[in-house]
Amino acid sequence: MRDNLKVTVAASERESIMSVILPKQAGTPEGTLLFRESEEITKLSEGVKIFNSLKKTLDYYGGVGLAAPQIGISKKVFIVNLRPEGKNSDLPDIGLKAYIHPEILGVSEETNVHAEGCLSVFYATVYGEVARPNYLKIRYTDLKGNEHTDEISHPFHARVILHENDHLHGKIFLQRMKQEDFSRLHWEENLDIRKNV
């Protein structure tokens, strides 16, 4: 809450801020749908509206991806926002992209282990090691209703897609961790997204 903050906000900005949704949290009553299978989107216009809400929320809180269940909408859509930073980044410049009704068609046997966090797990303050495939093939629909099949060969890009896709199937990254790795969970209190509220 910002009761003591005096800010003059234009009407259009106020509307934008009001549509930002604090991501639902695992372990709370509002976060129960994080553990449910999401439903199909029946109208493309519905997917576009969800995309707009996801974008505003991700822009506000930060991160590289966000799925509809995280903002309280149990529908099969997520977004990814990947942009390389610095000269030496090998991250592909995907930009902001919507995935409606995504379907993972295949993954590599080769995996990599990397720390993951989540806007819906302790407000993005807890990180744990998760093994994910290096490569995947995905089919999805874009915001114009066109179907695509992409092959993702960058391990971090694949990780982000698989993390967000898990949300559509009722899973969070903690459920992908090996039991023995829980002793190495680490806490980053300074990253608490509630500081942005």
The full set of domains in the chain, from first to last, is: 21-196 (3.90.45.10)
Contacts of 21 (CB under 8 A, 6+ apart): 53, 57, 71, 72
Per-residue model confidence (pLDDT) at position 25 = 97
| Distance between CA atoms of residues 155 and 153, nearest Å | 6
Give the mean model confidence (pLDDT) for residues 157-185: 97
Tokens of 62: 């930060």
Strands 111-116 and 95-107, sheet pairing: unpaired
Assessment of whether the complete model's pTM goes beyond 0.85? yes
Give the mean model confidence (pLDDT) for residues 15-27: 78
Give the mean model confidence (pLDDT) for residues 51-59: 97
Please tell me which residue in 37, 147, 151, 164 is annotated as part of the active site: 164
Contacts of 126 (CB under 8 A, 6+ apart): 117, 185, 186, 187, 188
Per-residue model confidence (pLDDT) at position 73 = 97
Place of tokens 């995996």: 111
Query: How far is residue 192 CA from its own chain's centroid?
Result: 16
Per-residue model confidence (pLDDT) at position 85 = 81
Give the mean model confidence (pLDDT) for residues 164-182: 97
Helix (H) or strand (E) holding 15: helix 11-18
Per-residue model confidence (pLDDT) at position 88 = 64
Residue 51: name the closest of 101, 118, 119, 98 by CA. 98
DSSP track, 82-113: E---STT------EEEEEEEEEEEEE-S-EEE
Place of tokens 């969070």: 172
Per-residue model confidence (pLDDT) at position 3 = 27
Question: Is 60 exceeded by the pLDDT of residue 167?
Answer: yes
**Could you tell me what percent of the chain has a pLDDT over 90?**
83
Give the mean model confidence (pLDDT) for residues 141-150: 98
Q: Look up 189 and say whether it is catalytic.
A: no
